[in-house]
Amino acid sequence: MLRNIYKILLLLLLASATVYASDSSKFDQGKKVFDKWCIHCHGVGMPATDALKIVYKGTDISPVLEERKELDADFVKYIVRNGKFSMPFFRKTEINDEQLNSLALYLSTKNK
């Protein structure tokens, strides 16, 4: 009986380790997507960051996306597929659904 409990515990541990591993590789993939597609406008000193600086003036919200604490994963996905002002939307040959999920995970969990 005790041996079975150990077995179950071990299995649970292993399972959570794989979940953790796949989440962390998704997170890394998300960072790669960000560096390839987003950073050129949303990096420090870049045009979208300058624009967001004006939007968030007087608040404690950072204009730098990678510093944001409250970004919602679905919001990130929506903006990538719908664009905003002069930011166009991205096709699936550019950012596929899997990459988009990773990007959303990266931006929504990075500072939590």
Partner 1 sequence: MSKNEDTMILPNGVNKKDFLAAIKEFEKIVGKKWVFKSKEDVYLYRDAYSPYWDEPEEPIPSLAVAPKSTEEVQEIVKVANQYKIPIFPISTGKNLGYGSSAPNNRGDVVVDLKRMNKIIEVNDKRNYCILEPGVSYFDLYNYIEENNLNVMMDIPDPGWGSPVGNSLDHGWGYLHGQFRDHFGNHCGMEVVLPNGELMRTAMGALPGAKTFAENKYGYGPYVDGLFSQSNFGIVTKMGFWMMPKPEHYTLAAITVPRRDDLIPLVEILNYLEDSSIVGWPLYRSPLNPEYGKPMNPELKSYLTSKNGKPDIEKIQDYALRNEIPYWRIDVSLYGTKDAVAANINYMKERFSKAIKGSKVEVTEDYDLPLTEEQKKSLKHKVTLGIPNLEIFWLSTRGEELGPKDGHVWFSPIIPRDGKELLKCQEIYIDTFYELGMESMITPFSHPRTWMYRAFCFMIGFANSREDKEINEKMRKVYTTMVKVAAKHGWGDYRAAPPFQDIVSGVYNFNDNILKRFAEQLKDTIDPNGIIAPGRGGIWPKRLRGDKNA
Strand partners, 15: none
Closest CA to 26 of 112, 88, 107, 92: 107
User: By CB under 8 A, is residue 1 in contact with partner 1?
Assistant: no
Least separation in angstroms between CB 42 and partner 1:
10
Residues 6+ away with beta carbon under 8 Å from 64: 42, 43, 44, 49
Distance (Å, whole) CA 45 – CA 23: 30
User: By CB under 8 A, is residue 61 in contact with partner 1?
Assistant: no
The binding track of 90-109 with respect to partner 1, each residue x by CB under 8 A or -, is xxxxx---------------
Instruction: Give the residue with the Cβ less far from partner 1, 33 or 48.
Output: 48
Number of amino acids touching partner 1 (CB under 8 A): 23
User: By CB under 8 A, is residue 56 in contact with partner 1?
Assistant: no
Distance (Å, whole) CA 100 – CA 45: 24
List residues binding partner 1 (CB under 8 A).
36-37, 40-41, 46-48, 50-51, 54-55, 81, 83, 85-94
